[in-house]
Amino acid sequence: MVLKDQGNLERARRFFKRALAIDELAYGTNHPEVAMDISNLGFLMKDQGQLERARGYFGRALEINEAAFGPEHPNVAGIVNSLGIVLKDQGDLASAEAHFKRALQIFRKFLGEKHRSTLAVKNNLAAL
């Protein structure tokens, strides 16, 4: 993430792809560690304005985490929120709102009203 934050996006992409390949070999293609790598690629694609690719990465990460943790888990909610952001950026406001509301419900249930993740999703809804 440091490379991405420093703006070295191409090097970050190579690093994230390498981490994904290593984790897929170590854990298989449907493990939460793999979902984290895929999600990192989603954030990178979003930052590069490649929203459709970001949406695909986040969608795959969501599938993995829902299978691993169930549909109502904070790890799922984080990706649902990220998908909501991409959908908002693509102009699909109704779908973005549905994703934000789902993430908010999960975060409220597991983390409470004052947790930073809950507050971040509330902010996303308000900005929508």
Give the distance, in angstroms, between the CA of residue 35 and the centroid of all CA atoms in the same chain: 9
Q: What is the CATH number of the domain that holds 17?
A: 1.25.40.10
Q: Report the distance separating Cα 1 and Cα 61, nearest Å.
A: 17
Task: For residue 13, give Cα distances in angstroms to 29, 40, 95, 118.
Answer: 19, 9, 28, 29
Summarised one tens digit per residue, pLDDT across range 87-122 is 999 999 999 999 999 999 999 999 999 999 999 999
pLDDT of residue 12: 85
Question: Considering its fold, how many domains does the chain have in total?
Answer: 1
Summarised one tens digit per residue, pLDDT across range 24-53 is 999 999 999 999 999 999 999 998 999 999
Q: Range of 95's domain? A: 2-127
